[in-house]
């Protein structure tokens, strides 16, 4: 082989590695379109939290009514 042919291959490889096009600096990422999915997930969670809060309030009211009438509650051992 001739010496200049040995130099051509590494030079071509280096040239190919350096010639990648750079993305433009002004290119922006697209705005996320996941708001509908986020709302669809959050709505049942909010309903479940509201139901849990209502259940807690009903339990407190029932316990207060039992205490006011002098009745025994189920969570107090006798």
Residue 14, token pair as written in the block = 């280096």
- Residue 75 has a pLDDT of 62
- Residue 18 has a pLDDT of 66
Q: Could you say which residues of the chain have pLDDT below 70? A: 1-5, 17-20, 22-25, 27, 71-78
- Residue 56 has a pLDDT of 97
- Residue 23 has a pLDDT of 67
CA atoms within 13 A on the CB side of 63: 9
- Residue 29 has a pLDDT of 73
């Amino acid at each position: 082989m001739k010496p200049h042919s040995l130099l051509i291959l590494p030079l071509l490889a280096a040239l190919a590695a350096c010639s990648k096009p750079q993305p433009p600096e002004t290119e922006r990422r697209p705005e996320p379109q996941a708001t509908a999915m986020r709302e669809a997930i959050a709505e049942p969670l909010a309903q479940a939290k509201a139901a849990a809060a209502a259940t807690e309030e009903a339990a407190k009211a029932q316990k207060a009514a039992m205490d006011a009438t002098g009745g025994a509650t189920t969570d107090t051992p006798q």
